[in-house]
Structure 1
Amino acid sequence: MNIDKFILSSKDGGQKLQQTNPGDYISPLPENGKASADIETDLNRTRQEIMGFGGAFTEAAALSLSKLNPRLREEALEAYFHPERGHGYSLGRVHIHSCDFALSNYTYVEEHDESLDSFDISHDREHIIPMIRDAFRMASKDLKLLASPWSPPGWMKTNGEMNNGGKLLPRYRDAWARYYVKFIRAYDQEEIPLWGISVQNEPAAVQIWDSCIFSGEEERDFVRDHLGPCLRENGLKDIKLLIWDHNRDIMAERAEAVLSDPEAAQYVWGTGYHWYVSEEFSNLSRVHDAFPDKHLLFTEGCQEGGCKIGEWFTGERYARNMIGDFNNWCEGYIDWNLVLDETGGPNHVNNLCDAPIIADTLNDRLIYNSSYYYIGHFSRFVPPGSKALELSRKATGAASHAGEEDRILWAAFLRPDGSIAAVAMNEGDDGQSSTLRIGAQGFELRLPAHSIATIILKA
C-alpha cells in the first residue's frame, strides 16, 4: 500500500494527533486480492458526500472565551477553524434566542408583540456574534451555519414559559414562523449568512430548561402550512430546513411522520439528529432507505455531567459515534458547545456538560480533552467533498462490543484529491489487529489499546 501519512492518538503511549512511522503498526498484505480481509472496499463503492465538521456557538462558549487572555481566545478559535493549524471546521450551530447554555431565558421581542416589530438581536452582539465573526475570519472557507430554536417565547406557548416543555399555541404558528425569518435576516445584516434552520431542538423532550414539544404530526403541519411557505414567500427558499433535531432512537418514525407527506417534504432538506439515549446507528440507514433524496446531519452531541478533564472514554465516544454514523449515511458532524468553562458551564439551570476544549477561567489557560484529538482524526483529514466508502466488514461499528471482532472499528473516505483517509479505533484494553483491503491492495493494522489512527493512502 502506498501510505502517505499515519497519524496516531493513544492513551498509554501519549500520542495526540501525532504523525508516526507507519512501519511500526502496518504490514502489507499480498497484492493478489485473493486473501480475504476483515474490511474490504474499492474506489467505486462511494456513498454520501461529506459536508464537514463543526461545533456550536453558544452564549456559554462565547462568554467563557471572553474571560481568557485574548491570545488564548484566538488560539481556541484557531484550534477549531484554521484549515492548516486546526481542525478546519466548516460547520457551526447557533441557538435562536436562549437555550440552556445561555445565562438566562431571553427572546428578541417584547411580551405579546405578535407583529414582531420589536425584534432585536442586540443580546447576541455582546458575545455570540463576535465569536462567529472571528470564526468566519479564521476559516479559509465560508461556514455553513445552522440555527435552532429551543423554545418560542413563553407567551406563545401553552404553559406560558420558555422552560418545562409546553406547546406552541395554534394562534401563534404564523407569528413563530415569521420569527425565523426575522432571525435569518437580522444575522444576514450582521454579515453572518445562515445555511439552514431546524424546526425545533429536541421536540420530544420536556426539559427544565428552554424546550417545546411537537409531535411528528404537529411538526409536519407546522412545516407544511406555516414555516415552509413563510420561508418561500420571503425569498428564503434556499435556507435548508431540518426536521427532528433529536435522538436516533425514534428518528425513523419521526422522519416518516413528516417526509411521507409530499406537501411537507418539499420544504425539508433533511433530518438532524443527536446521540443521547441511543447508538442505534442503523436507524440512519432506515431513514436514508425510506427517503434517499433527503439528507442526514448530526446536529448535537456531548458528554453530560460536567467536565471530564483527562478522561479518555469521551474521545472514544465521539469516534465510535462518528464511525457508526458515517457508515450509515451521515453527511456531517456538529459538536455541541465549542468551549465551556472549568465547571462545564455556564448553564442557567446547572445542566453542566463537557466540551473538547475547556476554558479554565480561574487559571487563564486552555485544556484540550481527548475528544478534541479524536474529532481531529476525522475533521483534519476528511475535507468537505470527500465521499464515504461502503465497507464490507465483519464488524459493523454498532454499539455492541461483545465480540473480539468489534474492538477495531473502521470508516474510510475517498478525498477530493483521489487519496483515501481510513480511520480505525481500538477501544479495548489490549492491542488488537485488523486487515483492510482496498481493491487489490491491503494491509494489516496493529493498534495499541485505547487508540485511534488515521491512515492516508496516496491516490
Structure 2
Amino acid sequence: MKKNTLKFLCLLFSITAAAQQTKAKKEFTTAGKKITVYTTAENSNLRLTATDNLSFSASKQPLETEISVFVEPSKKFQTFMGIGGAITDASAEIFAKLSKEKQSEFLNAYYDKQKGIGYSLLRTTIQSSDFSSGSYSYIQEGDKDLKTFSIDHDRQFRIPLIKQAIQTAGGKLLTYVAPWSPNAFMKSNGNVLKGGTLLPEYYQTWANFYVKFIKEYQKEGIPIWGTSTQNEPMAVQTWESCIYTAEAERDFIKNFLGPTLKKEKLGDVKIIAWDHNRDLMNYRANVIYSDPEASKYVWGMGFHWYENWSGGDSMFDNVAKVNEAYPDKKLLFTEGCVEKFDAAKYQFWGNGERYGISMINDFNNGTAGWTDWNILLDQNGGPNHVGNFCFAPIHADTATGQLIYTPSYYYIGHFSKFIRLNAVRVSSAVSRSGLLSTSFLNTDGTMATIVMNKTDKEMTYNLIIAAEKTIVKIPAHAIQTLVY
C-alpha cells in the first residue's frame, strides 16, 4: 500500500513539474528577439511600412523627461476574437460593379493575411438596412407563419461576396448578424422605417424569423456564430429601425429569442445584447444581466461609437465599467464609421485617427473584437436609400473602376494584420498623454504592441519590458505596430 502511495506521489510530482516547465516555456521573453516596426504616418508615403528593425538592450529606471511605453506580459486579460467589417447590400452591390481584377485586389486587401490586413470578423444584416438600394423583406407582407420566407434577394449580390470573402480569408470568417427592423405588419407604427416597436403578438413570429434566416444562411455554407437582438434599439431613424427598451429586450430574449434558438438546435448561436452606443450601455447591461433567466442566453454586449451625436466626447469609460461589473460577459464593438460623406475628405487624417483612438481604448477596456461598418461604398458614400451617406475604409469610384484607400484602412490594419485570433491582451501603458498604446500576445509567442502618436510632433519613446528596452521614433500623427 505504501509503495503504491509513493508511486502515486512520484507520478503526481512528475506531472506537476512537467506542467510547470511547459508553462515556463510559454512565458514571454525578450531574449534574442528583434523588433520589427511598421509605420503609417501623415504627410508621408508610409502605409503599414516596415520602417525599423531594432534590438533590446538593458533598461533601468526611466526619467520623467523620457517618454515610455511599458508592457507587462505576465498581466493578461481578454482573448482576442478578431477584427472585421460589415458586408452590407451596399458593399455587395458596388463590389459587383468592379472588374475581376479589382474584385481580387479588394478581397485580398481586406481578407488575405499576407497581401492585406487579415480581417477575421464579418457582420451582415437580416433584411434591409439604410445601406441597401431600397427596403425589402424575406417574406410577403402579412405572412405571420413565414411560409413565403426566402433569401433569394441576398443571392444576387450579398451571399456571393460573403462566400468569396470567406474563401480569401482561408475558409473561415466569424460571422454574426443583426436585424434593422421587423416587417411593417409586426410593428406598432405599421412601417419598417422610423422606429416603432415590435407588437407583443408577433414576438414568437419574429423569433422564428431569426431561426429561418440562420438556417438558410447555413445551408449556403455560411455558418452564423451570433446575432444581436436589434441594431440600435433606442434610435428612431428615418431608415429601418425598431425600438426596444432594456426591459423589452430582456423579455424578448428571455421568453422568445433564447428559448426558440435552443429549441431549434441553435443554442450555440450567441446572442449579443444592446448593439448601440456607449452612452446607455451600462443601463442595458444592468437590466438584462441582473435577470438570471435572460442573462443565461446572452453571450455579451455589442456597442457602437456614435454617442458623440450630442456634441460630447466618446464614452470609453462606460465600456470599462460594464467590463468591471460583468467580467463573465463579453464585449464586442459591432459598428463604427465616419459619418457625413465628403469626397474632398477621402484622405482626411483625422478619420483614421478616430479609428486608432477608439480601437486602443476599446481593447484596453476589455473588448474582445472590433467590427467596422461598410467594407466598401461608392464615390458618393452609398448606395443608401435614405441619403445617409458615409465613409468606408475603401471606396470604389464606379465611373473609373478604381479603388480608393483611406487612412482608416491603414489604421485598422495596424491591429488586424498583426493581432492574431486567440491572442491575449497584456498590460500596456504610456507615460505621456500624446501617445496611446495596447499590446497583444499571439499564440505563436510574438507580441504586437500598437503605439499611436496623435500630436503634431515627432516623438522618441522607450519600449520597456522588465529590464529590457528599445528606443523608437514615431512621426507626428502616426501609428506603429511593433512585432517582437
TM-score (normalised: structure 2): 0.89
SS of equivalent to 1:433? strand
* Paired letter, 1:437: I
The aligned residue for residue 336 of structure 1 is: 373
Distance 1:354 1:422 in 2: 27
Are 2:80 and 2:424, in contact at CA under 8 Å, matched by a contact in 1? yes
The answer to whether the aligner puts 1:10 opposite 2:10 as a matched pair is: no
The answer to whether the aligner puts 1:440 opposite 2:467 as a matched pair is: yes
Alignment of 1:190-339 (within 5 A): 190-278=220-308, 279-306=314-341, 307=343, 308-339=345-376
* Paired letter, 2:215: R
Distance 2:62 2:472 in 1: 18
Distance 2:325 2:44 in 1: 44
Kindly state the Cα deviation for residue 393 of structure 1 after the two structures are TM-superposed. 4.0
SS of equivalent to 1:129? helix
Kindly state the Cα deviation for residue 33 of structure 1 after the two structures are TM-superposed. 5.9
Deviations 1:111-147 (A, max 9, x none): 1111001100000000000000101111114111010
Distance 1:32 1:369 in 2: 40
Deviations 1:195-224 (A, max 9, x none): 100000000100000000000000000000
* Paired letter, 2:131: F
The aligned residue for residue 92 of structure 1 is: 122
Distance 1:33 1:3 in 2: 22
Are 1:29 and 1:444, in contact at CA under 8 Å, matched by a contact in 2? no
Distance 2:445 2:285 in 1: 34
Are 1:408 and 1:434, in contact at CA under 8 Å, matched by a contact in 2? no
- Alignment equivalent of 1:347, drawn from 384, 388, 391: 384
The answer to whether the aligner puts 1:53 opposite 2:83 as a matched pair is: yes
Distance 1:121 1:299 in 2: 23
Alignment of 1:292-441 (within 5 A): 292-306=327-341, 307=343, 308-394=345-431, 405-441=432-468
Moved more, 229-238 or 32-41: 32-41
Distance 2:419 2:408 in 1: 17
SS of equivalent to 1:9? strand
Kindly state the Cα deviation for residue 352 of structure 1 after the two structures are TM-superposed. 0.2
* Paired letter, 1:207: Q
SS of equivalent to 1:115? coil
* Paired letter, 2:35: D
Q: Percent identity?
A: 44
**CA distance change for structure 1 residues 33 and 439 in 2, over 3 Å: closer, same or farther?**
farther
Deviations 1:72-128 (A, max 9, x none): 012111111112111111110110000000111111111111100110000000000
Deviations 1:288-310 (A, max 9, x none): 11111110001100000114312
Higher helix residue share: 2
- Alignment equivalent of 2:181, drawn from 147, 151, 156: 151
* Paired letter, 2:46: Q
Kindly state the Cα deviation for residue 417 of structure 1 after the two structures are TM-superposed. 1.1
SS of equivalent to 1:44? strand
The aligned residue for residue 123 of structure 1 is: 153
Distance 2:372 2:347 in 1: 19
Kindly state the Cα deviation for residue 373 of structure 1 after the two structures are TM-superposed. 0.7
SS of equivalent to 2:236? coil
Distance 1:449 1:33 in 2: 26
Distance 1:300 1:287 in 2: 18
Give the greater-gyration-radius structure (CA): 2
TM-score (normalised: structure 1): 0.94
Are 1:425 and 1:453, in contact at CA under 8 Å, matched by a contact in 2? yes
Distance 2:152 2:394 in 1: 27
Kindly state the Cα deviation for residue 32 of structure 1 after the two structures are TM-superposed. 4.3
* Paired letter, 1:439: A
SS of equivalent to 2:73? coil
The aligned residue for residue 104 of structure 1 is: 134
* Paired letter, 1:72: K
SS of equivalent to 2:276? strand
Kindly state the Cα deviation for residue 30 of structure 1 after the two structures are TM-superposed. 3.9
* Paired letter, 1:333: W
Are 1:425 and 1:451, in contact at CA under 8 Å, matched by a contact in 2? yes
The answer to whether the aligner puts 1:31 opposite 2:59 as a matched pair is: yes
SS of equivalent to 1:269? strand
SS of equivalent to 1:249? helix
Distance 1:410 1:21 in 2: 18
Deviations 1:151-204 (A, max 9, x none): 101110000001100000011000000000000001011111101000000001
Distance 1:145 1:282 in 2: 27
The aligned residue for residue 95 of structure 2 is: 65
SS of equivalent to 1:277? helix
Alignment of 1:129-148 (within 5 A): 129-148=159-178
- Once superposed, what is the RMSD of the aligned Cα atoms? 1.5
The aligned residue for residue 399 of structure 1 is: none
Are 2:59 and 2:464, in contact at CA under 8 Å, matched by a contact in 1? no
Kindly state the Cα deviation for residue 28 of structure 1 after the two structures are TM-superposed. 6.0
> What stretches of structure 1 of length at least 5 have no aligned partner?
395-404
Are 1:90 and 1:141, in contact at CA under 8 Å, matched by a contact in 2? no
Deviations 1:215-255 (A, max 9, x none): 00000000001100000010000001100000011111111
Aligned residues: 444
Distance 1:45 1:229 in 2: 38
SS of equivalent to 2:318? helix
The aligned residue for residue 19 of structure 1 is: 50
Kindly state the Cα deviation for residue 442 of structure 1 after the two structures are TM-superposed. 2.1
The aligned residue for residue 40 of structure 1 is: 70
> What stretches of structure 2 of length at least 5 have no aligned partner?
1-29, 309-313
Distance 1:312 1:271 in 2: 30
